[in-house]
Chains A and B, each alone.
Chain A
Amino acid sequence: MGSNQRFIIKLVEQGYILPQKLEQALTVSGVYPDSHAWHKFIDHLFLWLGGLALAFAVLFFVAYNWSELGRLFRFALVEVLVIAAIVGYWKLGTERMAAKVALLGGTIGLGVLLALYGQTYQTGADPWQLFFNWSLLILPWVLVGRFAPLWLLWLALVNLSVMLYFTAFPGAFGLLLPRDTGMYWTLFLLNTLALVLWEWAATRWSFMDRRWAIRLVALASGYTITWLALISIVEGALTDRSGLVAGMIWLLWLASLGGVYRYRIRDLFMLTGGSLSVIVVVTTFLARHMLEGDPVGAFLFLAVVVMAGGSGSLIWLKRLHREWQS
């Protein structure tokens, strides 16, 4: 519907559509949804909102830690709901949206169950273990579910457990990874691997071919490597080995991103993200070295560099867009 809307907007602005024919044009072109589209939208909206509201209701209820409520009752409640969600998934027919929502509800329910277990028996486990175990236990459902948002949830849980693990043990894997940036390196490797695998999976299974989900994973990968490059610049570490490695890997990442999304899979979003990363890193590099001297000239120069970078990227991206459309 997005491209139709842009097209209609152009026609309206250029005066090709008479005002009295506008409503008709908008309906015929599919910009205004028809009854079937409305039916589907409302059906999915109510289903998702209703399902998530119920899952969160259970989460809040358990988090309330009601002392008069017996331990057994709370466990039974969550367990029954998880089982009901899975049975629902099975009975509803696995390809229906209602079934997928039930599966997602069951997945959240399992996390609630694990949290309740930790809370009740005071197992002394670290927070990262909760999320890691959660991601391990739901893996079979994720594999069976054939549902991109479920994979995204799984990846988010793994990301979260990595973050919490490094919060608990900041110097983990000290021999393999730099002490202060170990978490970012792990997250970068994890999300980049996930991105590569997801792109591969998208060519094999249509349910994985969801550009918005792939872009979110790419965002996580790009964010962490850009951050690593920034750290090495700000800490003046480009002269030492780990800083240099960060810079080199950032360049390598950028080249691969550009190569893949320019020539193999055409995706303007990814290229825009790469351009943003270049602008941020180059500006930080220049600012780090120039602002120590004469700040007045440096500020003006940096402003010009950013504007040149922004407009240059935009011109390139627009040209690509036109090239791909023709």
Chain B
Amino acid sequence: MRVLTGFSGWLAALFLLGFVGSAFVWAVENAILSLAVGAVMILGAYTILRHAANEFVEHLALALSLAGQVLVFWGLFRINTPGWSASTWLWIALLELALTWWMPSFVHRVFSTFLAAGALSTAFMQMHVPYVIDSVLLLAMAWIWLHLFRYPRQLARLRAVGYGLALALIPLKGSVLFQAGGTGWRAQPFQVESWLQPWMAELLTVAVMIYVVWQLLQRYQYDSGDRFSLLVLAATLLIALFSLEAPGLATALVILLLGFAVGNRVLLGLGIAALLFFISSYYYLLDITLLAKAGHLLLIGLALLMLRWLAARYLFNKGTTDVA
């Protein structure tokens, strides 16, 4: 149902934009005016949402806000020279963060978080600091889902941000994957030289994975020094290190793990979708030969099956009786 809300809001926004574009051509041609008209539309949407009494009005506000945002982006691109500079993207990210915080609508918040994450990632790439920001966003997502219930007053906000980040991370991590092969839409307009490499981001992702598992162990009141915890952490490290060779795999695993840990089926489904997406795009990664990929997958497969056997034999029949 939320997909329906999002889709019809987005479609209505397109028509609304067509209306604004054709009725106020003079405004759209002027950067300051389109900024102003866009801002008024967003403010209008905010006011409507605060007092929204029914579904129709909520849809109207969503469409109005989306159309307003496009006008503001358009103004920002025209004011900044060159338009695709880091500062434009930072402004967009800032605007979307503010909307995430203030707009009282779940769908709007998910959407704004998604855009904010994309804009932030692009801005950092423009500043010659690529890849790593995506892993920082992954850490933020993990933290939110693990501590979701700790802030009851912010629950609605945090859930929306958690979903928005998970949705954004799948294409973001995917684009890095394609970029490593020299293709991908984000690589084309601005090939950046940087000392940062994709594997550094993957290493950070490994750290996030270990953080998630460590936090979960704490939730079930395991000491970080006992045998069970050490074994679980060692196994996690092993899986994470193996997955380094197949980019994106660790990200998908983190989403999957969080989905299960917080009992959220949507997140679990997103994790599975991400996993399939990353594995199939791995086939097209151009840097390494199919033979090397086959070797990596063989290692990962054998390691996982061996870990499963070891876990069933040594871990679960002793360690978990005192959990829960």
**Interface residues, chain A, CB within 8 Å of chain B?**
1-2, 4-5, 8-9, 12-13, 15, 19, 22-23, 26-27, 30-36, 38-39, 41-43, 45-47, 49-54, 56-61, 63-64, 66, 268, 272, 275-276, 279, 283, 295-296, 299-300, 302-304, 306-315, 317-318
Contact = CB atoms under 8 A, between A and B. Distances in A.
Interface stretch (B50-58, B96-104, B118-126): B50-58
A54 B22 CA distance: 56
Interface in B288-319: 289-291, 293-295, 297-298, 300-305, 307-308, 311-312, 316
A291 to B, nearest CB: 8
Q: Which of A5, A66, A310, A315 has most chain B Cβ within 10 Å?
A: A310
Nearest to A300: B19
Contacts of B321: 35
Given A31-B263, A303-B16, A310-B12, A12 B304 contact: no
B207 interface: no
Contact-residue bracket for chain B: 35 or more
9 contacts: A1-B263, A33-B261, A43-B311, A46-B304, A49-B301, A54-B301, A64-B294, A307-B12, A312-B56
Interface of B: 1, 3-5, 7-9, 11-13, 15-16, 18-19, 22-23, 54-60, 63, 149-150, 152, 155-156, 159, 219-220, 256, 260-266, 275, 279, 283, 289-291, 293-295, 297-298, 300-305, 307-308, 311-312, 316, 320-321, 323-324
A311 B294 contact: no
Contact of A299 (B15, B159, B261): B15
Given A13-B156, A26-B149, A54-B301, A64 B1 contact: no
Given A34-B324, A306-B15, A311 B219 contact: no
Contacts of B290: 60-61, 63-64
B248 to A, nearest CB: 13
A50 B298 CA distance: 9
Given A38-B323, A58-B294, A311-B55, A279 B261 contact: no
B324 A27 contact: yes
Contacts of B263: 1-2, 4-5, 26, 30-33
B302 A299 contact: no
B1 A317 contact: yes
A50 B308 contact: yes
Given A5-B264, A53-B301, A315-B55, A45 B1 contact: no
Contacts of B156: 13
Contacts of B155: 9, 12-13
B4 A310 contact: yes
Contact of B298 (A4, A12, A54): A54
Give the top 7 A-B pairs by smallest Cβ distance, nearest first.
A310-B8, A53-B301, A50-B304, A299-B19, A311-B55, A46-B308, A54-B301
Q: Which of A23, A27, A35, A60 has most chain B Cβ within 10 Å?
A: A60
Nearest to A269: B1
Contacts of B262: 5, 31-32
Contact of A296 (B1, B23, B300): B23
Contacts of A309: 8
B323 A35 contact: yes
Contacts of A61: 290-291, 294, 298
Nearest to A313: B4
B255 to A, nearest CB: 13
B58 A311 contact: yes
A153 B305 CA distance: 23
Contact of B19 (A5, A296, A315): A296
Given A268-B1, A272-B1, 5 more contacts: A12-B152, A33-B261, A60-B293, A296-B23, A299-B16
Q: Which of B156, B301, B316 has most chain A Cβ within 10 Å?
A: B301
Contact of A32 (B18, B261, B316): B261
A43 B313 CA distance: 11
Contacts of A299: 15-16, 18-19, 22-23
Contacts of B4: 272, 275-276, 310, 313-314, 317
A200 to B, nearest CB: 26
Contact of B256 (A27, A45, A318): A45
Contacts of B12: 303-304, 306-307, 310
Nearest to B56: A311
Given A5-B264, A22-B149, A38-B320, A64 B291 contact: yes
Nearest to A30: B263
A33 to B, nearest CB: 6
B308 A310 contact: no
A34 B290 CA distance: 41
Contact of A53 (B60, B297, B308): B297
Nearest to B279: A56
Given A32-B263, A39-B320, A43-B308, A303 B56 contact: no
A60 B299 CA distance: 13
Q: Which of A45, A306, A315 has most chain B Cβ within 10 Å?
A: A306
Contacts of B300: 49-50, 53
Contact of A303 (B15, B261, B293, B295): B15
A185 to B, nearest CB: 26
